[in-house]
Amino acid sequence: MLEKLFEIISPDICVVCKNQGKCLCDNCMPKVLIYKKPACVFCNELNDTGKTCNRCYKKHPIRTAKISFRYEGALKELIWAMKYENKRSHARYFAGLLMSQPGIVCFVPSDGTARRKRGYDQAEILANNYAKLHKLEFKKLLLRQTHSRQVGKNRAERLKNTKGNFVVAQNVKGLDLLLVDDVITTGATISECASVLKAAGAKSVTALAIAKA
Ligand SMILES: [Zn+2]
Ligand SMILES: [Zn+2]
């Protein structure tokens, strides 16, 4: 409610041409966003579908990753603002640019400290809006673990403590899941999320992201 009101007072401005309306207008969008060629998300080997290659699939249980754009230029700026400058509207904008893909929609929860500072989780907004747009079911399946303090622990305990950042919060048995994140970097985080989801009984995990760094 307040958020909507704020957006009426302060509407989005195109990051390129400064026209009012969207954070990137329909005119500028095709000029500044660079589509990403489909590839294995873990080793970047090109293919036609974004499928994870057989070698990487052995280590990372993500069947396919659908990534819209290359993480460059104006897109970086827009994503930065979405994460750190309270621009939730950017998450709604990008939800419309994620590739269409069936499945039950879930998301990679953002890091706790950063999220508390902002008061929202951009990946959640992105996933939730994507689900609404495509009339798909949205579920909050993953939770980030808060780790106990590292002080006074030996190395083995510290290592143990850094393992397992995510836990599955609901029953996922037999589900085909779409795991949404804003930007994928190395793929280690989505891989970890997919591993816990698969271990909890999920049938398949497909990753969906705006960009790959
Ligand atoms: Zn523009
Ligand atoms: Zn690969």
Q: Could you tell me the residue ranges of all domains in the chain? A: 33-212
Q: What local confidence, expressed as pLDDT, does residue 157 receive? A: 57
| Per-residue pLDDT at 6 | 60
Residue 110 CA to ligand 2 centre (angstroms): 25
pLDDT category, 74, cuts 50, 70, 90?
Answer: very high
Ligand 1 centroid vs 75 CA: distance in angstroms? Answer: 13
Phi and psi for 24 in degrees, rounded to 5? -150, 115
Contacts for 163 with CB less than 8 Å, ≥ 6 apart: none
Q: Rounded distance, CA 189 to CA 50, Å? A: 18
85 pLDDT tier (thresholds 50, 70, 90)? confident
Ligand 2 centre distance from Cα of residue 40 (Å) = 5
What integer pLDDT is reported at residue 23 of this predicted model? 95
pLDDT, averaged across the chain: 90
The confidence score (pLDDT) of residue 118 equals 78
25 C-alpha to ligand 1 centroid (Å): 4
The mean pLDDT value for 187-201 works out to: 97
Ligand nearest to the CA of 52: 2
What is the rounded CA–CA span in Å between residue 34 and residue 83?
20
Q: 33-42 as b/e, with b when 16 or more CB fall inside 10 Å?
A: bbebebbbbb
Q: Lowest-confidence range among 103-117, 155-169, 183-197?
A: 155-169
What ligand is nearest to the CA atom of residue 24? 1
Closest ligand, as measured to the CA of 55: 2
Ligand in nearest proximity to the CA of 56: 2
Mean pLDDT of 135-155: 79
Residue 1 has pLDDT above 60, yes or no: no
Which residues, in sequence order, are CB contacts of 125 under 8 Å at separation 6+? 88, 91, 92, 95
Ligand 2 centroid to Cα of residue 71, in Å, is 19
Rounded to whole angstroms, the Cα distance separating 43 from 50 reads: 11
pLDDT at residue 92, rounded to an integer: 94
Instruction: Measure 44 CA to ligand 2 centroid, in angstroms.
Output: 6
Q: How far is the CA of 122 from the centre of ligand 1 (A)?
A: 23
Residue with more model confidence, 186 or 9:
186
**Where residue 143 falls among pLDDT bands split at 50, 70, 90?**
very high
Mean pLDDT throughout 171-192?
Answer: 97
pTM: 0.88
- In tens, the pLDDT along 92-141 reads 999 999 999 999 999 999 887 777 777 889 999 999 999 999 999 999 99
pLDDT of residue 77: 94
Q: What percentage of the chain carries pLDDT values higher than 70?
A: 88
Q: How far is the CA of 76 from the centre of ligand 1 (A)?
A: 16
Q: What is the pLDDT of residue 163?
A: 64
